[in-house]
Structure 1
Amino acid sequence: MNSKERISELDLIRSFAFLAVVYQHVIGVFMRRPGLDEQTAVIYGMLFHLLKFAVPAFIFITGLVLFYNYWERVDYFSFIRKRTKEILVPYFVWSAVYLSLQPISSDSAGRSAWGILKAILTGSASYHLWFVVMIFQFYLLYPLWQRMFHAVRKWTGSHRVRLACAIGLFALLYAWLLWFSARYIPAHQFRFDIVLLDTYWIKYRDRNAFYYFFYFLMGGMAAVTLAAFRQKIVRYWPWTFASFVVLYVYIGYELLRDSGRGMINLNVATSLKPSMFFYTVAQLLLVYGLALWVGKGNGGRWLQTLGKFSYGAYLIHALVLTYTMKAMTWLGLFHNSVLGSCVVFLLCTAISFAISYSLGKLPFGAWLVGAADKKRKAPPLPQKEWSNAG
């Protein structure tokens, strides 16, 4: 059994995505502070759009790693056991931390066994933990995605037209799903009569993995065509960049149009709408190209290290951000300025990484921040890659 190449650019993309997440949350905090002027709010809105690739990037990486390592087969129970240790156990630990720090409300149900269980199942112990609930669904259902991917590969073979049709079909299906989420549901107050369906597909659709499936399959496509994928990223980056610029201008227009009069509404910048989907795909391709460029000649080592410990830092950063903002407020520094948000971002990033790195070096560190150094030993991909069609 041959060991595989470590895809070094993925650690860089993880670090980019983590940095983007932290600054998104910093912007969210600053946008809620009183006295923010409209011009600064617009700047924050534009920056927020530049950072929206973060969650799709993590999903893309997940798809790439899973299909790269487990393309042919997967021992499901061993696979889930490993991911439970690396992902769910740290999630449970930090959920408990966030729940313990929440003020006790007059509603005692919030601290009941059901309230705690609900918070853990929905990722609502803290505002950022929904992501773990969502991403773990891809691990749980990986055999389903794997079978579907194999069926599509068998149908497309090495035919470029069939491959293009398959990608186009999935893109249209995904765009329709986002239209359903962003337009149809709010306009028609659509609800399912069955409670479980309504909860999963309507109420908590922001953490329903199926609303993000295209980025996962996009990662799978990159995994089985890795060499060709890298080449095309480099070859077509001017066209990708041009598409990104056009779409960035358009979603900026949407943000100003749909926010209404007055302050910018960051909820308009949701990833679950068709325009953001096309924009995000272009941005992900650019981010991948940036990772390839930074990684040339063993560059970006500190970013790669940050990427390895990004999961723990992600779990921790909301807590660090809370106390960093309290300190800044107590000191009376920066107020609502963009400079202030940058300082808070740098402090939050550095402290979160330092804690994650330190905990990760402990004998039981994987139970707290996940496994930083993962060995990839899986059956090699078939000699004939899917995209000899490309």
Structure 2
Amino acid sequence: MQKEHIKELDVLRMIGFVFVVAQHVFGAYAWREGAGFSESLILNFFYVIAQPAVPIFVMITAISLFYNHTEGVNIFTFYKKRILYIFLPYVIWSIINIMDAKQYGQASFDNFVGQLAAGTGRYHLWYMSMILRIYLFFPLILWLSKRIQKLPKFYKVGFLLICFVFYIILLKNNGITFIIGKSLFKTPTYNEQMFIDRTPLLWSIYFVVGAYVIFWYPHLIALLQRYRKFIVLTYTPLLLYIYYIQINPHFPGHKYITIGYLYCFLKVSYMILAFFMFYSLASYIVNQKPKLYRLFKDTSPYSYSAYLAHVIVLQAVAMEVDKVYSIKSFLLQSLLIYILTIALTIKVIQVLSLFPFSKYFLGTSCNYYREFFSKRDLPFKFIGKGFLPYHQPEDQRGVAKK
């Protein structure tokens, strides 16, 4: 039996995507030479708001995987789908990204296999090096999670707390990846060290939290609805704290802030709380804003391929805006680039979905033409060389068939 679709994930996928673009645009323009101080403060604020992008995607991945495989996993089918619809698009878009970056002198095809493994084909592809290893080990993770689910509630909560504490310690001491690199390779190459640096362990708490979201889903949704205001009130000071840490080095006469365990604890708390806040926002959109949700639903299937392609569009848009428009304000320029990059990337991917076998290089079987027209009642049907009035057939309940 087909499981009920979690509509909130449609919204969250697109929030995650626009946050990724925001990091790459606003992060690049903040504190750029020639930018005004006030502009840089605003751009950094946008950047900090968008920082939970990767945690959001990791938690979405966990929720989707555990939700779709609660009864178990067929190893052959699982890996076949991930190879065809995750890894293959990644390979294709890595080639395209490297070819695009070569014209700017930013990349080459040296050791392409190593680039794929480490996600060094272009700066945004690092995420694939990490997430592919989660897919690789998921059957084992699922087996372990089923054992944990059988434990009493006290032990399940204890396991979550242990994971959280372990992650804080690991995050504070993330330099251990350099030690591991030297111990394994003695003198590691760039790709070898990047492969180790991008270990899923450095993002593991978000995957664990995503799994617990599914384990306690009905209870958790009730808590989110009850404590929605509390989540916002807690999220706000955490956001301001992370923002202050971000901008503090740029103030004249600033005092050096030690990044210790407290900072790691508060930053991870901010990331997790941001996910729940935006999940509550997604729930509100799903239930209260049907037209807005339709927009998210229509674009959500293209979020993965849009992520793979967006840097190509961003680079082209930035160069064109800089060439055509004489915008002296970095804030206005970055906002224009940001909006155009999102809109054009989604539209390009939708157009590419019209091509044969597009699911193998986009990672989705959604077809923009089919999806667009299946949601609309066409007043005419093309017959021969002309158009005749067209009415969709109705089923016995009088509802037009889809």
Please give the TM-score of this superposition, normalised by the length of structure 1.
0.83
Read off the aligned partner of 1:155 and give its amino acid letter. L
The Cα of 1:169 is off from its aligned counterpart by 1.7
Does the 8 A contact of 1:309 with 1:356 survive in 2? yes
- Which residue of structure 1 lines up, in the alignment, with residue 83 of structure 2? 84
Q: In structure 2, how many angstroms separate the alpha carbons of the residues matched to 1:93 and 1:260?
A: 44
Does the 8 A contact of 1:244 with 1:283 survive in 2? yes
Q: Call closer, same or farther: CA 1:294–1:106 in 2, change over 3 Å.
A: closer
5 Å-filtered alignment, 1:208-357, equals: 208-258=199-249, 273-296=264-287, 298-299=290-291, 300-357=293-350
Q: In structure 2, how many angstroms separate the alpha carbons of the residues matched to 1:295 and 1:225?
A: 20
Does the 8 A contact of 1:205 with 1:211 survive in 2? no
Q: Call closer, same or farther: CA 1:206–1:331 in 2, change over 3 Å.
A: farther
SS at match of 1:155: coil
Match status 1:195 vs 2:184? yes
Offset from partner CA, 1:243-267 (integer Å, 9 cap, x none) = 211211221222233567599xxxx
Does the 8 A contact of 1:179 with 1:274 survive in 2? no
- Which residue of structure 2 lines up, in the alignment, with residue 365 of structure 1? 358
5 Å-filtered alignment, 1:81-230, equals: 81-103=80-102, 110-112=108-110, 114=111, 116-156=112-152, 159=153, 161-181=154-174, 190=179, 193-195=182-184, 203-204=194-195, 207-230=198-221
- Which residue of structure 1 lines up, in the alignment, with residue 16 of structure 2? 17
Q: In structure 1, how many angstroms separate the alpha carbons of the residues matched to 2:205 and 2:252?
A: 34
- Which residue of structure 2 lines up, in the alignment, with residue 377 of structure 1? none
The root-mean-square deviation of aligned C-alpha atoms, in Å, is 2.9
The Cα of 1:77 is off from its aligned counterpart by 2.3
Does the 8 A contact of 1:359 with 1:368 survive in 2? no
Q: In structure 1, how many angstroms separate the alpha carbons of the residues matched to 2:193 and 2:264?
A: 14
The Cα of 1:340 is off from its aligned counterpart by 2.0
Task: Give unpaired runs (5+ residues) of structure 1.
Answer: 375-390
Q: In structure 2, how many angstroms separate the alpha carbons of the residues matched to 1:373 and 1:230?
A: 29
Does the 8 A contact of 2:306 with 2:346 survive in 1? yes
Q: Call closer, same or farther: CA 1:197–1:308 in 2, change over 3 Å.
A: farther
Q: Call closer, same or farther: CA 1:128–1:251 in 2, change over 3 Å.
A: same
Greater relative contact order structure (CA < 8 Å, 6+ sep): 1
- Which residue of structure 1 lines up, in the alignment, with residue 400 of structure 2? none
Does the 8 A contact of 1:309 with 1:353 survive in 2? yes
Q: Call closer, same or farther: CA 1:359–1:110 in 2, change over 3 Å.
A: closer
Give aligned-pair identity as a percent.
Answer: 25
The ranges of structure 1 where at least 4 consecutive aligned residues each deviate by more than 6 angstroms after the TM superposition are 104-107, 197-202
Offset from partner CA, 1:346-384 (integer Å, 9 cap, x none) = 11111100111111233311112111559xxxxxxxxxx
The Cα of 1:291 is off from its aligned counterpart by 0.4
- Which residue of structure 2 lines up, in the alignment, with residue 384 of structure 1? none
SS at match of 2:304: helix
Q: In structure 2, how many angstroms separate the alpha carbons of the residues matched to 1:21 and 1:213?
A: 19
